[in-house]
Amino acid sequence: MYDEMTPDGDESPAISGCGPLLPTASATAKPLRQQIFEHVRGAGRAARADVTRALGISAGSATTLTADLIAAGLLREVEGLPRETGRGRPPVALEVVSEACHVIGIKLSDEVHSAVLTDFSGQMIADASLPTPPTRKSQSDLLDEIAVLIARLLESSGKELCDIAAVGIGLSGIVDHKTGTVPWSPLLAEREMDLAAAFVARFGLPLHLDNDANVLTLAELWFGAGRSMTDFAVVTIEHGVGMGLVLDNRLFRGSRGMGLELGHTKVQLDGALCRCGQRGCLEAYLADYALAREAATALHRNPRNLQSPNAMLDALFAQAKAGNEAARTIFRRAGRYLSVGLANVIQLFDPELIILSGERMQYDYLYADEVLAEMRKLTLNDGRVPCRIETHAWGDLVWARGASALALAAVTDKIMGEARA
């Protein structure tokens, strides 16, 4: 779970660094200066001796490179680490100069957009949200809504646009992280939208774009349970069904940056119609619009009723808890399809942990013992420890914080690359 967050997405006072805590096989590809910086940021505070032990470098190298980082205004010395003995001065620690850089993370969704402003140490300074009509948007409309979010963050934090180094955005659909384009999203009226180019033209800031399930996975990797794990998966159930995967402490995106679309894997030939236009997708049996489609029949609602899917599903869940068998059947059926999807993830990737997250995870039918038992029956578990399943039902700010991690990682790479040059 999130040590620094409460379930509604707010922060508590205690924060102890951000970013992955375990080394990766690709860590040596990064400059040693960057490895030192990221170790300090991950620990929150670290003495030089801790750095030398963790990275396996000499004390001389640690002293020289930390001096460079201090001179560059990226690290600073502070007192406050506990003494190992009762004598002498407390050891001097290093910490990130949090005010050296600021980024914004944004989660775009069907009904409410959310955003956070984060400093260079990963601490959240301000947040904002914006209710939006659940209709497909033009590029211009979307940029206008993003502008409102950014303006609110700047106003509440006292920052200017020139103080922001980069912006990270997560949204549902097929998103090409490398090019910043969106081939398809249920939020957008257009296909093949070059959102990154339009964003830069409008705001003059670098934009780092990704699928919303990927940014939630980054939130787990940078701030949550995934910090101390090398391999895990995140499955999200909200307006759609998404998946993120971490291998060797790095987000896996596929060869073209558009892999792991779990919601659009097929579970029924010629099955239910999905919002992507195809039939038989897992999402068409699990997402809120899919459940609401059946809820209207179970609750005897007029199909022309303009009630939102959230309100419809809340009513359906209340009926299921009250004993309505038709309502219970809808959730049970969705749970069985979820067990199929999870079993496929386990058979393909064999993760140590699968984290179930998203707004729909408030419905306990989807992670009931029966669902997990059926998932295990569908996997080859003989003689092996079964994959662990956890449920993290957090608020929208966690997604936005994951988007801020996307921007922080990119800005760190850029700054350290410039320093190396």
Using only the alpha carbons of the chain, give its radius of gyration: 23
pLDDT digits (tens, 9 = 90+) for 338-390: 999 999 999 999 999 999 988 778 788 788 889 999 999 999 877 778 899 99
Please give the residue range of the domain that contains residue 379: 230-351+359-393
Q: Which of 7-16, 74-83, 126-135 has the highest mean pLDDT?
A: 126-135
Token readout for 227 is 């910090």
Q: Is the pLDDT confidence value at 75 over 90?
A: yes
Q: Which amino acid is at 270?
A: D
Q: Is the pLDDT confidence value at 128 over 90?
A: yes
Token readout for 332 is 């049970």
Q: Is the pLDDT confidence value at 2 over 50?
A: no
* 7 inside domain: no
Question: In CATH, what number is assigned to the domain containing residue 342?
Answer: 3.30.420.40
Residues 6+ apart with CB under 8 A from 65: 32, 33, 36
Question: In CATH, what number is assigned to the domain containing residue 42?
Answer: 1.10.10.10
- Phi then psi for residue 412, to 5 deg, are -60, -45
- 264 shares its domain with 372: yes
Q: Report the number of distinct structural domains present in the chain.
A: 3
411 compared with 386, residue with greater pLDDT: 411
pLDDT of residue 13: 37
* 20 inside domain: no
* 267 inside domain: yes
- 329 shares its domain with 264: yes
H-only helix segments in 160-287: 195-203, 212-223, 283-286
pLDDT of residue 383: 72
Q: Which amino acid is at 111?
A: E
Residues 6+ apart with CB under 8 A from 316: 291, 292, 295, 298, 299, 327, 330, 331
pLDDT of residue 305: 60
- 176 shares its domain with 201: yes
Mean pLDDT of 79-89: 59
- The pTM assigned to this predicted structure is 0.88
Q: Is the pLDDT confidence value at 52 over 90?
A: yes
* 366 inside domain: yes
- 81 shares its domain with 114: no
* 365 inside domain: yes
Domain boundary among the residues 83, 98, 113 is at 98
Mean pLDDT score of the chain: 88
- 381 shares its domain with 247: yes
- 247 shares its domain with 370: yes
- 375 shares its domain with 414: no
* 371 inside domain: yes
Q: Binning pLDDT at 50, 70 and 90, where does residue 11 land?
A: very low
- 200 shares its domain with 107: yes
pLDDT of residue 292: 85
pLDDT of residue 200: 98
Instruction: Kindly list the distances between the CA atom of residue 151 and the CA atoms of 161, 224, 255, in Å, as whole numbers in the listed order.
Output: 9, 28, 36
- 173 shares its domain with 213: yes
* 21 inside domain: no
Token readout for 228 is 């101390």
pLDDT digits (tens, 9 = 90+) for 264-296: 999 999 999 998 889 999 999 998 888 888 887
Domain boundary among the residues 77, 98, 119 is at 98
Mean pLDDT of 159-176: 95
pLDDT of residue 368: 86
- 258 shares its domain with 146: no
- 213 shares its domain with 236: no
User: Of the ranges 55-64, 270-279, 300-309, 405-414, which one carries the lowest mean pLDDT score?
Assistant: 300-309
* 336 inside domain: yes
- 256 shares its domain with 371: yes
- The Cα 217–Cα 278 span in angstroms is 26
